[in-house]
Structure 1
Amino acid sequence: MSTVSRTADDQQAIISSYRRYLSKGRASLGEMFGGDVEEYSSGAWLRTATGRKILNCGGYGVFLMGARHPRVITEVTRQLNSNPIATRLLLEPQAARAAEALVQVAPAGLQKVHFACGGAEAVEAAIKLGRAHGKRHLVSMESGYHGKTLGALSVTAKETFQNPFRPLLPDVSHVPYGDAEALDRVLAQHPGEACVIVEPVQGEAGVIIPPDGYLRAVEEACRRHGAFFVLDEIQTGLGRVGHWWAADREGVVPDVLLVGKGLSGGVVPVSALVATPEAFGPFDKDPFIHTSTFSCHPLAMAAAQGAIAAIKEDGLVERAAALGDLLIPQLRDIAVRELGDRVREVRGRGLLIGIEFTVPGLAGDLLLELIGAGVLGNHSLNSSTVMRLTPPAVLTDADVDFLLDAFRYAARAVLN
């Protein structure tokens, strides 16, 4: 049997295992995207079982520093060879070091950290912390996305995801994103008892950018009505939008900032809640009020330290801003030239980029053509008309040219 045949057999075996042991739907989705299997990644590129090289502009915001960044790998390997999982009873130094590193780059005034494993878990922690302060009415934004655990799902205003699992948490309001006056009206009905959670850019909604001044107006409304202000920067934080935090653009300091995705360094999953000392009070007082077995596990703490160090040392925040300024207008020009009025808008901040179409199904078709051309993108869970690109900030000039050429090819191919 030839090598190619063995590879094809292996791929089919993996698809069969997915279908049998994981999810039939996930197996079908994999087949729709060509059935290829990723097996190796480095920097901006991944390699499949068939030997294809694919530029990774997907990953939903995880790979800001690319895959297997040497700084992160060094930190994680060192920890793996010494103490990968801690007892949780004794103190463990990597947790303290990771918390200090995160506070040093967080907006001023956020000084306390709770680590978790995934974004939804960080959202759950924020909801519980708000409740501990008596903030029992949750307010989130229409089309927002905060995860799919029960509490996070309650503030993820998408009926497709919510309906199979009702009843969800009670006392939840959803208001239009970008409409600070609508938020103010809802908060006025719940003085002193609301917890507001908002994204500075709605990623899963299709890279929806609010009006200038919106986050500042949200913060002011929260202060005016005694609401608990949670800013979900799980996707936008740590340089993705060309700033350390999207909050930095407007000088906003929430009660709680949520961090994830890029904090992993693309190596070990980790998320965090970073809070003011006042907001963190209930967790500060009682170390058992909210716990998790793998919170602060040393491998993740090493990855977080490596990720923050890599972002600083490689100037990835500035690089993300520069690449966004380069890519967004060129992608817009190609999209308009090749697809005309089938494109509604190409928009983004930094390396969080959305391409919205006027024709149903075109986003998915373009995503498939783009993969065929050697570039991996993202769909948008809350918007079927938007394809997203979340490239790493380590793209070289040659990588940028490859991305633009592949996008041009895919845009032409999708019409045939």
Structure 2
Amino acid sequence: MSTALPAPRTHGAETVELYRRHLGSGRAVLGAVLGGMVEVDSEGPWVHTHDGRRFLDFGGYGVFILGHRHPSVVAAVHEQLHRHPLATRVFLEPVAARAAQVLTARTPPGLDLVHFVNSGTEATEAALKLARAHGRNALISMESGYHGKTLGALSVTANRLYQDPFAPLLPDTAHVPYGDAGALATALAERRGRACVILEPVQGEGGVRIPPPGYLAEVSRLCRRYGALLVADEVQTGLGRLGTWWGVDAERVVPDMMLVGKGLSGGVVPVAAMVATEEVYHPFSRDPYLHTSTFAASPLACAAAVAAVEALDGEDHVTRAAALGETLLTGVRAVCAPYLNGGPVREVRGRGLLIGVECAQEQAVGELVLELIGRGVLVNHSLNAGRVLRLTPPAVIREAEVQFFLAAFAQALRTVSARLR
């Protein structure tokens, strides 16, 4: 049960108004639509609101692979907070060094150098700058790919809804169909020796798009053939989310750079990283002031990262994610089966604990989100695929919680299906 402090005195309506005044009217409206609930407490797979309700968290945008407030991560952060939470950045700092050691012990062989940052989009920026330091100024990303919303990252996030208000973005950027190695080969041939390719092993915000077998290995081969650098964005897919440590493990691909985030936080303190081979990392290694950030590699964040990786390893959550993913995918497909072929569901797909339910229309996704909230479950839509409901449950859920979700999902789908007839 929860051991949190009492809920803040500010309640739903007051918080909505504070959002409207100080954080933006759009977010305030969305909060009001969702009932004006205020989250005040969490533990494991559960989030608690100010009115005493609790919600099974199958959302969180992939952050909570260890659930909320994992005891080992909280203890490590608590100890670091009382010891030395932020560094001067003048002396060497041992927690960052330890975090790099622990992380690279689990990355594909050769990815030995780490640049810590505070978010996934910052990891993307670091990779794009490092590619430019090697003369790879042409960027190739995948249609529906998502890599963040800062200006450089936005250039390779292939969604005009987010790009157009901030154009022009980085020049010489191309987007090719995900899973189409032929289209990538054509784009690389036109940019021989000066390209950087960035892709997700499974597209998350793109609607849980799983590439055809052999695609990742072929992408790696094409990059070598045409002298391109390869960046694997594992911000959402890495650290056990797909039932393997990394999405590239499925085809034993070793990219030039890999982006890590979300689960690296342990669900407690934001932290992300760009990991690279020694050869590719050399410009950053030669000049440590070439790309810097005041709060990057803070002792507090790195303590969380060490504890998160060690918990994933020591408690065998990666293996557990694979087994739970199979159980959930089977269950979700069974629930959706009566609603295929003309119903509100088009397809269910997933790998590990990343599962997508593609609906026939966007309206169905929004209504399912609301119906599930009404039944005590949190899920996410997909930013680059409006018809896809996305499930990213933690690896710490138990059988009773799996059944709770499946029952709630069946009821929500039944209600939405009847409404949309």
TM-score per shorter chain, which class? over 0.9
User: 1:196 touches 1:229 (CA, 8 Å); kept in 2?
Assistant: yes
- Whether the aligned pair in 1 keeps the contact of 2:137 and 2:195 (CA below 8 Å) is yes
Name the counterpart of 2:330.
329
CA distance in 2, matches of 1:287, 1:15: 44
Equivalent residues of 2:76, 2:304 under 8 A apart: yes
The CA deviation string for residues 334-375 of structure 1, in whole angstroms up to 9 with x for no partner, is 012256632110110000010001133101111110111111
Q: Residues 277-330 of structure 1: CA distance to partner in whole angstroms, max 9, x if unpaired?
A: 011010011000000001110000000001001101111100100001001011
Letter of the 2:242 partner, please give it: V
Amino acid at match of 2:87: A
Out of 353, 356, 380, the position equivalent to 2:355 is 353
Instruction: In structure 2, give the amino acid aligned to 1:386.
Output: V
TM-score after normalising by structure 2 = 0.96
- Letter of the 1:59 partner, please give it: G
Question: In the alignment, which residue of structure 1 is the partner of 2:50?
Answer: 49
CA contact (8 A) 2:11 2:38 kept: no
Pairing 1:43-122 to 2, within 5 Å after superposition: 43-122=44-123
Q: How far, CA to CA, are the matches of 1:10 and 1:137 in structure 2?
A: 50
In structure 1, the partner of 2:226 is 225
Q: Which runs of 5+ in 1 are unaligned?
A: 1-5
Give how far 1:30 is off. Answer: 1.1
Matched-pair identity in %: 57
Mapped partners of 1:371, 1:407: distance in 2: 10
Q: Which residue of structure 2 lines up, in the alignment, with residue 364 of structure 1?
A: 366
In structure 1, C-alpha distance between the alignment counterparts of 2:120 and 2:9, rounded to whole Å: 35
Q: Which amino acid aligns with 1:230?
A: V
Equivalent-residue separation in structure 1 for 2:271 and 2:161 (angstroms): 27
Q: SS of the residue aligned with 1:105?
A: coil
- Report deviation, 1:384: 1.0
AA paired with 1:275?
Answer: A
Deviation at 1:333, TM superposition (A): 1.1
For residue 192 of structure 1, what is the aligned residue in structure 2?
193
Whole-angstrom distance in 1 between the partners of 2:110 and 2:207:
31
The separation in 2 between residues aligned to 1:33 and 1:245, in whole angstroms, is 34
Can you give the 5+ residue segments of structure 2 that lack an aligned partner in the other structure? 1-6
Give the Cα–Cα distance (whole angstroms) in 1 for the partners of residues 97 and 119 of structure 2: 19
Count of aligned pairs between the two proteins: 411
Q: 8 Å contact 1:346–1:354 — kept in the other structure? A: yes
Partner amino acid, structure 2, of 1:135: R
Counterpart of 2:40 in structure 1 is: 39
Separation in structure 2 between the aligned mates of residue 362 and residue 330 of structure 1, nearest angstrom: 20
What CA RMSD, in Å, does the superposition of the two structures yield over aligned residues? 1.3
Question: What code does the residue aligned with 1:402 have?
Answer: F
Query: Is residue 2:388 matched to residue 1:386?
Result: yes
Counterpart Cα distance in 1 of 2:178 and 2:35: 36
CA contact (8 A) 1:238 1:262 kept: yes
Query: Could you tell me how far apart the structure 1 residues matched to 2:370 and 2:9 are?
Result: 20
| Equivalent position SS for 1:230 | strand
